[in-house]
């Protein structure tokens, strides 16, 4: 295996992290330790599983076949794995070039652009849209797909500008939240809640309905 990534989860379709239906890829490992982070299960770089870029590109192919609109990469801190992530994003771009509907790439990072090294900058440049900045629990926001008011959405390509310009300042009445359940009673969720207690409220609600909350969304309360 030449290029491989440490992965928390991949899922299709994701509908709460970017426009349309998307392949969601969560990468494992984050050194940033934002106070109030509720995704602590993604911090350990040895957690998750190692997956070849070629395997994830098979997921991308399936997403294209099923009419997907894009790929969202989150974490954890994706740019901690800048070089294999670049291989993945280049592969997405190649596959997208032959798709009827081009896939856009939305990449989350907790870093600011000025903090990125050369390799990380090159990888970040492969995204159509880049959302930067730490999660700041004391700075809630109503802006869609952003966890706190300091986080910035950068539209980096014509495709990104076409698809996301109307979302730059968009504040939905409530943040998009996607809940997935299985017949045996497991549940997990995806989304960027805009209030500090939203994540716990979602999971408490699922438990009250009898579900086991089994895994991560973008954020997850510490046990
Ligand atoms: S909020 Fe995101 S960037 Fe901050 S510590 Fe948690 S996973 Fe890392």
The domains of the chain are located at 4-172
Name residues contacting ligand 1 (CB within 6 A): 30, 32-34, 37, 39, 42, 75-77, 110, 134-135
The reported pLDDT for the residue numbered 2 is 65
Mutate which of 44, 47, 76, 109 to test ligand 1's pocket (most atoms within 8 Å of Cβ)? 76
How far apart are alpha carbons 14 and 36 in whole angstroms?
Answer: 24
The reported pLDDT for the residue numbered 155 is 98
Q: What residues pair up with 51 in beta bridges, in sequence order? A: 5
Mutate which of 17, 32, 108, 220 to test ligand 1's pocket (most atoms within 8 Å of Cβ)? 32
Beta carbons of 169 and 153 less than 8 angstroms apart: no
How far apart are alpha carbons 18 and 51 in whole angstroms?
Answer: 24
Instruction: Identify the H or E element spanning 158.
Output: helix 158-164
User: The tokens of 127 are what?
Assistant: 């995204």
Angle at Cα 79 formed by Cα 21 and Cα 114, nearest 5°? 115
Residue appearing with tokens 């900058």: 121
Which ligand 1 atom lies nearest to the CA of residue 109?
Answer: 3
Sign of the Cα pseudo-torsion (59, 86, 170, 158, in order): negative
How far apart are alpha carbons 167 and 61 in whole angstroms?
Answer: 27
**CATH class of the structural domain 4-172:** alpha beta
How far apart are alpha carbons 46 and 22 in whole angstroms?
Answer: 26
The reported pLDDT for the residue numbered 16 is 96
Sorted by sequence, the CB contacts under 8 Å of residue 136 that are 6+ apart come out as 34, 36, 148, 149, 150
Distances (CA, A) of 124 to 54, 64, 114, 139, 172: 20, 22, 12, 25, 27
The reported pLDDT for the residue numbered 220 is 30
Which ligand 1 atom lies nearest to the CA of residue 33?
Answer: 5
How far apart are alpha carbons 168 and 184 in whole angstroms?
Answer: 39
Interstrand relation of 186-191 and 212-213 (parallel, antiparallel or unpaired): parallel
The reported pLDDT for the residue numbered 223 is 25
How far apart are alpha carbons 72 and 164 in whole angstroms?
Answer: 13
What averages of pLDDT result for each successive group of 10 residues across the chain (223 residues)? 86 96 96 88 93 97 97 96 98 95 97 98 98 94 95 98 98 92 88 81 92 61 28
The reported pLDDT for the residue numbered 138 is 92
């Amino acid at each position: 295996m030449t290029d491989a990534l440490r992965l928390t989860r991949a899922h299709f379709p994701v509908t709460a992290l970017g426009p349309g239906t998307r392949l969601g890829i969560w990468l494992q490992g984050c050194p940033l330790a934002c106070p109030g982070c509720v995704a602590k299960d993604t911090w350990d770089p040895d957690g998750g599983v190692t997956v070849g870029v070629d395997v994830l590109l098979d997921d991308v192919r399936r997403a294209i076949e099923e009419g997907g609109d894009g790929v969202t990469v989150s974490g954890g801190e994706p740019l901690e794995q800048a070089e294999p992530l670049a291989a993945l994003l280049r592969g997405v771009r190649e596959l997208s070039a032959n798709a009827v509907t081009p896939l856009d790439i939305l990449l989350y990072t907790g870093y600011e652009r000025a903090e990125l090294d050369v390799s990380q900058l090159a990888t970040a440049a492969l995204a159509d849209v880049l959302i930067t900045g730490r999660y700041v629990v004391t700075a809630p926001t109503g802006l869609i797909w952003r966890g706190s008011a300091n986080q910035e959405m950068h539209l980096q390509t014509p495709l990104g500008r076409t698809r996301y310009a109307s979302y730059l300042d968009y504040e939905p009445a409530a943040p998009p939240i996607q809940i997935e359940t299985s017949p045996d009673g497991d549940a997990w969720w995806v989304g960027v809640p805009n209030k500090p207690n939203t994540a716990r409220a979602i999971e408490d609600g699922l438990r009250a309905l009898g579900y086991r909350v089994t895994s991560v969304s973008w954020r997850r309360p510490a046990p």
